[in-house]
Structure 1
Amino acid sequence: MDRTELVDLLSPASLRLLDSLPPYDSHGDVLKLVSDLRKAGHPSDVVSAVLNQSRLRAKATVKFGEFAERMLFTEAGLEQATRLRVAALHAGRFAGLSTALGRPPRVADLGCGIGGDAMALAALDVSVVAIDADEVTATVASFNLAPFPNASALQADAETFDLGDFDAVWLDPARRTSGHSNTTRLTRSEDYSPSLDFAYLLATRLPLGMKLGPGHDRDRIPVDAEAQWVSVDGQLVEMGLWFGALARTGIRRSALLLTHDGTHELTAPEDSADVEAGSLGNYVYEPDGAVIRARLIGDLARSLDAHMLSEGIAYLTNDRLTPTPFASAFRVLETLPFDEKKLRLALFHRRIGTLEIKKRGVDVDPATLRTRLKLKGPESATLILTRAAGQRVALLVERVR
């Protein structure tokens, strides 16, 4: 979305038209809808703008739920936006500053994007000013924050914005190339905007929280920061860094899981030491990505009375099932030959036509292997390709629900 499209979209008539559209249907007759809107007298540029927003609102439901129905988006802004459920947890940390301050904190949201985190902050009575260097993005954020009297958005440079009146900072550095669509991910943290050097220096002055990608280089995590990896329904979505009064005492590593049945967290003062490897048991556990990235596999293993299946590989095993929200459990049915021809024959005899392939520690492309196995039959199964005691193994397992 460029400036011209945004101007067209923000007219009262365009917004009324957007809100009047039926729910977006990707399989519907878009051409007919366009034709009907044009026959009703709506200009073609307006029709294009509102239909694009209707599509983005439908897509945004995954992150924003029903709030998406009254928001505006850019393609890139939606892709980078924090899920509202996660943003609410971010906001909770800032709201906690109220006790020490004796009033709601005043927070600067630097690199606010479309304003998702700022919305969550404002909803918890935190006073927030959202800043973005891009004019279109800042305007979209201003629209999304309009229902909140304690929130506003400005176009400004994050690194030069005056923070003299603020109690804390939330920072979401741009980790993609500039633009509103068709952006690409920046691979070097030195290219982030605002820069990490700016953020780390700012953290020595003010309580600061920062969102980074979950695969961020762990060697660049400051020793005084609390690092928290967040997983939503099994999908690893971010790493948060917390400094000063926003970091929790005694916690430097955290794996936070948001699932359909609640919130679960594993914490530690540092990376946990791995447990020793041992023999294959009746069950194999695959830790959640947040646990793996936080390097808390050892603590999880001790809680399960389990050991590593092989040194350096993130699979655990034991003989007795111990339910945990921090790992997927699989019951071991059989150990099959780690040989493609023998494996194909074994699966053929078991009439397995649908196969989930999981792998760690072995050089195998699951999609290519699945094709070469020529699967046929009514049965389904899960196959784990990995190492046990340093040797390659193929484990036929069933997922424990």
Structure 2
Amino acid sequence: MFDTEAVAYLRSEAGAQALGEVSGRRLAGASLVSDIAAVRTQFGDRAGILVETVQLRRRAAAKFDDPGQWLFTDEALQQATAAPVAAHRARRLTGARVHDATCSIGSELVALRDRAAQLVGSDLDPVRLAMAAHNAGGIDLCRADALAPVTRDTVVIIDPARRSGGRRRFDPRAYTPALDAVLDVYRGRDLVVKCAPGIDFDALAEMGFGGEIEVTSVGGSVREACLWSPGLTEPGVRRRASLLETGEEISDGEPDDCPVAPAGRWIVDPDGAVVRAGLVRHYAARHGLWQLDPDIAYLSGDELPAGVRGFEVLEQLHFQERRLRAALAARSVGALEILVRGLDVDPDALRARMRLRGTEHLAVVIARLGSGAASRATAFICRPSR
């Protein structure tokens, strides 16, 4: 739907005025059809790009602080880095000369604008480049293939496309550009690559990547894995978890001496970035916690670390639905949060089978503890700290 002519119109005074008028419409629910018909009557063939731009701006509010003047395509918005994550990456690149070689619509460029000593963006897609010129005005842009370097002595940022036709690509060799090709082309240079959080760490090693893998979360939700070449990280650090909600960072350069012991007063379910980065033991050691099982990410302690949400243990029992249902009924539980690791249990289906009727709001933490014949499915009835 979008081409360079459409982008030029949207950037014009007439386009901005039209977008302002269309943004006053609900464009949803029962009025959607009539709203689109009215926009088509007023703006003719340009109705499609106007309606889609307004709708994309509304969706973008989940990623950007103020997307009301931005231009997007659907796929570019899906892949665009959320503002807090882009700002975090930009802080790590303060004072560097940076080339965003897959700049797309410019979300990383905007975050880097006040951090980088020098900044340039490039992309192969002329439509996205035109949108970047609008979104990140004043930054030098050029059309170039990320696999054909056009800068020297810069930190190169690559954000390969991980979708095609709306479908996710899970094999990093199927990214655009392919991750193995990116690592080969920029081997020996300072490089930052944004990847899906579920990327196979072993596959990265097979490709020859020897830098740092940083897993980042916002609000407890894992957003991405970012690859930092060796020249951009601390010596010896290969994995890092960055929890942007609390500002906490932890790496494998820290101690991981963490015992395994029965549950204490509190159970802690570490942030997903900590778990994904394989830093559960490091996190536990930092906060004076221990593991309930060496293969399960749940941690425990007699004191809850500051700022960390935990679950105060009220009762421990062998996990059987009948026994758990009776225990919850005895405590008059009416609302139940369910956390599960190591067992094939659907929390929503289990909650429905508990037939909750009371007024208390509690949680149950379920895990398989132990190994082999000695393993035991265990449930902890808990009170959430918040």
TM-score by length of 1: 0.85
Q: Are 1:112 and 2:70 counterparts?
A: no
2:267 counterpart residue number? 284
2:75 counterpart residue number? 76
One-letter amino acid of the counterpart of residue 342, structure 1: R
* Alignment check: 8 A CA contact 1:313 1:360 kept: yes
Q: Are 1:171 and 2:158 counterparts?
A: yes
The percent of aligned pairs where both chains have the same amino acid is 33
RMSD of aligned C-alpha atoms? 2.5
Mapped partners of 1:274, 1:246: distance in 2: 27
Mapped partners of 1:190, 1:37: distance in 2: 43
DSSP 3-state at the match of 1:70: coil
Tell me which of 311, 321, 324 is aligned to 2:303. Answer: 321
Tell me which of 191, 209, 217 is aligned to 2:200. Answer: 217
* Alignment check: 8 A CA contact 1:356 1:382 kept: yes
In structure 2, do the counterparts of structure 1 residues 297 and 264 end up closer, same or farther at CA, with 3 Å as the change threshold?
A: same
1:398 counterpart residue number? 383
Q: How does 1:199-348 map to 2 (within 5 A)?
A: 199-219=182-202, 220-221=204-205, 222=208, 224-259=210-245, 262-269=246-253, 273=256, 275-318=258-301, 320-325=302-307, 328-348=309-329
DSSP 3-state at the match of 1:63: coil
Tell me which of 158, 161, 165 is aligned to 2:146. Answer: 158
Give the deviation of 1:330 after TM superposition: 0.9
Tell me which of 338, 354, 360 is aligned to 1:379. Answer: 360
Number of residues of Structure 1 aligned to a counterpart in Structure 2:
377
* Alignment check: 8 A CA contact 1:24 1:54 kept: no
One-letter amino acid of the counterpart of residue 56, structure 2: L
2:31 counterpart residue number? 29
1:101 counterpart residue number? none
* Alignment check: 8 A CA contact 1:206 1:244 kept: no
Tell me which of 173, 189, 192 is aligned to 2:172. Answer: 189
Mapped partners of 1:85, 1:194: distance in 2: 25
Give the deviation of 1:235 after TM superposition: 0.7
Range 247-256 or range 79-88, more displaced: 247-256
Q: Are 1:368 and 2:370 counterparts?
A: no
1:90 counterpart residue number? 89
In structure 2, do the counterparts of structure 1 residues 119 and 393 end up closer, same or farther at CA, with 3 Å as the change threshold?
A: same
Q: How does 1:341-360 map to 2 (within 5 A)?
A: 341-360=322-341
Mapped partners of 2:257, 2:363: distance in 1: 26
Give the deviation of 1:38 after TM superposition: 4.8
Give the deviation of 1:362 after TM superposition: 1.1
Give the deviation of 1:283 after TM superposition: 0.8
DSSP 3-state at the match of 1:335: strand
1:102 counterpart residue number? none
Mapped partners of 2:321, 2:128: distance in 1: 52
Give the deviation of 1:231 after TM superposition: 0.8
- 4+ runs deviating over 6 angstroms: none
One-letter amino acid of the counterpart of residue 14, structure 1: G
Range 167-176 or range 25-34, more displaced: 25-34
* Alignment check: 8 A CA contact 1:353 1:379 kept: yes
In structure 2, do the counterparts of structure 1 residues 22 and 188 end up closer, same or farther at CA, with 3 Å as the change threshold?
A: closer
* Alignment check: 8 A CA contact 2:120 2:140 kept: yes
In structure 2, do the counterparts of structure 1 residues 257 and 393 end up closer, same or farther at CA, with 3 Å as the change threshold?
A: same
1:18 counterpart residue number? 19
DSSP 3-state at the match of 1:211: strand
* Alignment check: 8 A CA contact 2:93 2:115 kept: no
One-letter amino acid of the counterpart of residue 333, structure 1: L
DSSP 3-state at the match of 1:287: coil
Mapped partners of 1:141, 1:167: distance in 2: 20
* Alignment check: 8 A CA contact 2:102 2:160 kept: yes
Give the deviation of 1:186 after TM superposition: 0.3
Mapped partners of 2:69, 2:101: distance in 1: 23
One-letter amino acid of the counterpart of residue 84, structure 2: R
* Alignment check: 8 A CA contact 1:385 1:393 kept: yes
Q: Are 1:121 and 2:123 counterparts?
A: no
Mapped partners of 1:376, 1:56: distance in 2: 42
1:242-293 Cα distance to aligned partner (Å, 9 max, x none): 114322344332111111xx522112338x6463321121111111111112
In structure 2, do the counterparts of structure 1 residues 297 and 24 end up closer, same or farther at CA, with 3 Å as the change threshold?
A: farther
Mapped partners of 1:7, 1:143: distance in 2: 9
Task: Give structure 2 stretches of 5+ with no counterpart.
Answer: none
TM-score by length of 2: 0.88
